[in-house]
Amino acid sequence: MAFKRNVDRLPIVPPDAEEYNVVCHFCIVGCGYKAYVWDANREGGPEPSRNKFGVDLRRQQDADSAAWYAPSMYNVVRKDGRDVHIVIKPDPDCVVNRGLGSIRGAKLAEYCHSLVTGTQINRLTDPLVWRYGQMQPTSWDDALDLVARVTARVIKEYGWDGVFVSAYDHGGAGGGYENNWAIGKLYFQSMEITNIRIHNRPAYNSEVHSSRDMGVGELNNAYEDAELADTIVAVGTNPLETQTNYFLAHWIPNLRGETLEKKNRLLPGEPHEPARIVFVDPRRTVSINAAEAAAGKDRVLHLAIESGTDLVLFNALLTYIYDKGWIDRDFVEKYTVGFEKGPQEPPMYPARADSGEFAGRWPGLDEVVREIRISPEEAAKICGVPAGDIVKAAHWIAEPKAGGHRRRTMFGYEKGVIWGNDNYRTIAALVNLALATGNVGRPGGGCCRMGGHQEGYVRPPYPGGRPAPYIDKLLIEGKGAVHHIWGCDHYKTTLNATEFKRVYKKRTDMVKDAMNSVGWADRDRLVDAILWAIRQGGLFAVDVDIKPTMIGEACHVVLPAATQGEMNLTSMNGERRMRLSERYMDPPGQAMPDCLIVARLANHLERVFREMGDERMAERFRGYDWKTEEDAFMDGYHRHAPGGKFVTYARLRKMGTNGFQEPAVGVDEEGRIIGTPRLYTDGRFSTPDGRARFMITKWRGLQAPGKAEQKRRYRFLINNGRANHVWQSWYYDQDHPLVTDRWPWPFLEMNPEDMKELGLQAGDLVEVYNDAGWTQAMVYPTPTARRGETFMLFAAPRGVQGNVVNNGVNELVIPNYKQTWANIRKIADAPAEARRISFKSKEYRPPA
């Protein structure tokens, strides 16, 4: 049987329940929720006067009811030291999600730590240290003393280069402005650390360097633009699964024609129709299927290109549109570098050439088209899609509407190109297209990444260079003496993971063995022993997280963090909408917000350096007298973010789940923060002269080292990515029975004919292997999958896809997960857990 809770009734939220603003912890969309909290020993009643919603709960509620909550939205948690009921349900008044909850966010309550109901009871509650050969709980002071002493000794002996850091830089749970600022202040201001990487990539770099180099910040539109667009172009993104309620609440209504009234009202004087949509993706996704159901197949175009050839497609679209005269000449003239010879600026690797005709300067649009010119027919050969479909896409993107009005086209892209072939040039080619058609900074437009996590980044500047050091590679080569890890689990979420884990375990085991040779309380000798092991090639590792992680098993100190809901936390979503998600419960055990862990670590480092007699170093770690997360917010965002001076907790609290769109530009007479719905509406882009840049984006095949060879040698494309049920590294989901019941192992979507040739049945476990490593997956028959092309669920604890991703990166150390090829062989018949699950198509079918 499928997982069932056997819940027949839920406690009713009483009228006097406390109410908190909540933003979903997870994806970039940042849906609004409300948390209701009340004493454990009572409840409201079904009569309207006896419940929070003023609704007669003795009756069946209608569809889209604001007065219903699922069992996953309910729990019993600790608040101020007492057990309380909690209901966390979607907020119908939030303009982002309009009352919708995804399969991830609508489980926020069930993801809470609860000793009463037993949910997420393996949350970290105490600092843990490697003592007598195993991880043992200890006090904060004891754990931080060891971390500070080892780190200080390493800095003395190796300089800043001895300290390696892995740290998230995202918003939402774990991240947010408070925690990101704290980490940045510690490592970039108090220390000068360059050997640092981010949660999902092996260096300290941008995922969209080229867009920024061209002056186009990557989150430049408003979600409303998806309701106003004539055409949406979705590249390497599967929004129904990964930005669910952005897609459902803003894209689908436009595809269904439900936003026509709004279009006519906001954009009068031009013809409007329901939107058309172009998907660029080698795989047929559930998003494409849903778009067809909403818009009709004739208004959905799927360009199922050969994996990694996006750049060629964009170049062909630009060439065709340019030749047709559909360029927005006025926009190009006024707001970009223009058509010929862009400005001379010092070369910035790898945007501007070091030699040749374009050395040290930006090209104009005419020059770009001359350099990248390719016909639909030539592109069709490389991309593997009909030339007619490329032409059709060009018409949908840029052919003027009746009366000569410019078509409004919105471009959304994500990991398909970000983790795809030749990231820098490919994204640049798409931005070229958006700029040339005048679609940045206008309603119904935008050229945006769709986003993964929410954002929440304000830090002192990174002291390293460009390209930033390839941290995983350096760790594998034996560099680094101490490794601080903040909310990352590279064992599940890095590339070249087979080799990374092999070396990492070996190096951290050396330190564990040394620690085993000394008594714990003999602190000086313990630190000496650790330093001795480091000199032999060992690595001392400290992990800060909310849950036990796979990389944490290799670490010597594990520190328990609080997460969103257990602390006040600010973040922004994919349209830069900033909200304060309020604290609604206690953190488990001794867990603390990351920003306060940073502060206490800094306090200990100051003390340790003073004890070592180094006053100058000790002074660097002053300025961390934060008592609350709000202190970190005021020190960081309020003082350093653009418009931060207008933003306080009190003002944000008042603005509820709708918040404002960054940057803040003022405060109105009622104390409401005034934001910025769209960027670049004045045509001034993020460049020194305010003019956007174009870039020459020549095709060079599979760019990352080893990819072309891998494609030749191995039979199957192992395309990879996310699924609806799962958030990020499964840190909650691996302990949630609804998720593990559906996906006991990562699925591998595979064409049934390929399965037949390999003698595979649905649910069989297979080994996926190549020159980089090996991993396992569960076969999911998928008739829409092309022969030789599979898709594997990413970051699963029981089968790490990164194990078979080679170490090839681009010039700026962006990983290339998507272009992975491997062979597949059977391990075992479907295990019992796999035999009971559904292997039917994931695609919705309308009524016959």
Partner 1 sequence: MRRCRLMVEVGRRQFLRGTVGTATAAAAAATVGGGARAATPRGGVVPDYPRIRLANVRDLVVDEPLEVTYPDADAPGVLLKLGRRVPGGVGPDGDIVGFTTVCPHKGYPLHYVREERTLDCPGHFSRFDVEAGGQQVWGHATMNLPQYELRVDEKGDIWAVGLDELLYGRVSNVLG
**Amino acid of residue 164:** F
Bridging pattern class, strands 482-486 and 540-545:
parallel
The strand pairing partners of 33, in sequence order, are 22, 90
Interacting residues with partner 1 between 3 and 42 (CB under 8 A): 3-12, 40-41
111 neighbors 732 (Cβ within 8 angstroms): yes
828, 829, 830, 835: CA torsion to nearest 10: -160
Bridging pattern class, strands 409-413 and 231-235:
parallel
CB count, 10 Å around CB of 772? 22
625 in contact with partner 1 (CB under 8 A)? no
Interacting residues with partner 1 between 87 and 106 (CB under 8 A): 100-103, 106
520 neighbors 131 (Cβ within 8 angstroms): yes
397 in contact with partner 1 (CB under 8 A)? no
Closest CB to partner 1 among residues 73, 193: 73
Interacting residues with partner 1 between 746 and 805 (CB under 8 A): 797-798
Stretch that binds partner 1, among 624-632, 697-705, 752-760, 831-839 (CB under 8 A): 831-839
258 in contact with partner 1 (CB under 8 A)? no
The CA distance from 567 to 546, in Å, is 13
427 neighbors 210 (Cβ within 8 angstroms): yes
Residue 840 Cβ vs partner 1, minimum distance, rounded to whole Å: 5
Select the residue interacting with partner 1 from 631, 709, 741, 767 (CB under 8 A): 741
The CA distance from 82 to 93, in Å, is 30
828 in contact with partner 1 (CB under 8 A)? no
Interacting residues with partner 1 between 540 and 599 (CB under 8 A): 548
Taking alpha carbons only, the member of 449, 584, 546, 677 closest to residue 23 is 584
Residue 72 Cβ vs partner 1, minimum distance, rounded to whole Å: 4
**Amino acid of residue 4:** K
Select the residue interacting with partner 1 from 27, 144, 203, 248 (CB under 8 A): 248
The CA distance from 730 to 722, in Å, is 11
Residue 112 Cβ vs partner 1, minimum distance, rounded to whole Å: 9
Residue 2 Cβ vs partner 1, minimum distance, rounded to whole Å: 4
Select the residue interacting with partner 1 from 116, 348, 827, 828 (CB under 8 A): 116
Q: Which residue has the tokens 């907020």?
A: 91
Residue 247 Cβ vs partner 1, minimum distance, rounded to whole Å: 10
8-state DSSP, 141: H
Residue 91 Cβ vs partner 1, minimum distance, rounded to whole Å: 14
Residue 776 Cβ vs partner 1, minimum distance, rounded to whole Å: 11
Interacting residues with partner 1 between 273 and 302 (CB under 8 A): 286, 289-290, 293
Interacting residues with partner 1 between 38 and 77 (CB under 8 A): 40-41, 43, 46, 57-65, 68-76
Select the residue interacting with partner 1 from 115, 348, 674, 828 (CB under 8 A): 115
Closest CB to partner 1 among residues 285, 454: 285
208 neighbors 601 (Cβ within 8 angstroms): no
Residue 581 phi, psi dihedral angles, 5° rounding: -90, 120
Q: Which residue has the tokens 């175009």?
A: 301
**Helix crossing, 376-383 with 310-323: angle to 10°?**
170
Residue 87 Cβ vs partner 1, minimum distance, rounded to whole Å: 10
Select the residue interacting with partner 1 from 33, 34, 91, 110 (CB under 8 A): 110
Closest CB to partner 1 among residues 156, 256: 256
Length of the chain: 848
Q: Which residue has the tokens 């490593």?
A: 773
667 in contact with partner 1 (CB under 8 A)? no
Closest CB to partner 1 among residues 6, 49: 6
581 neighbors 23 (Cβ within 8 angstroms): yes
Number of residues that bind partner 1 (CB under 8 A): 91
Stretch that binds partner 1, among 556-564, 654-662, 738-746, 749-757 (CB under 8 A): 738-746
The CA distance from 662 to 674, in Å, is 9
Closest CB to partner 1 among residues 520, 839: 839
Residue 240 Cβ vs partner 1, minimum distance, rounded to whole Å: 7
736 in contact with partner 1 (CB under 8 A)? yes
367 neighbors 340 (Cβ within 8 angstroms): yes
Cis peptide before 467 (omega within 30 of 0): yes
Q: Greatest CA separation found in the chain?
A: 83
Select the residue interacting with partner 1 from 590, 686, 724, 784 (CB under 8 A): 724
The CA distance from 816 to 438, in Å, is 30
Closest CB to partner 1 among residues 138, 244: 244
E strands, 649-764, in order = 660-661, 666-667, 673-674, 716-721, 747-750
Closest CB to partner 1 among residues 72, 751: 72
The CA distance from 749 to 722, in Å, is 12
Stretch that binds partner 1, among 1-9, 214-222, 356-364, 623-631 (CB under 8 A): 1-9
Interacting residues with partner 1 between 117 and 176 (CB under 8 A): 117-122
Closest CB to partner 1 among residues 539, 762: 762
Select the residue interacting with partner 1 from 124, 152, 240, 664 (CB under 8 A): 240
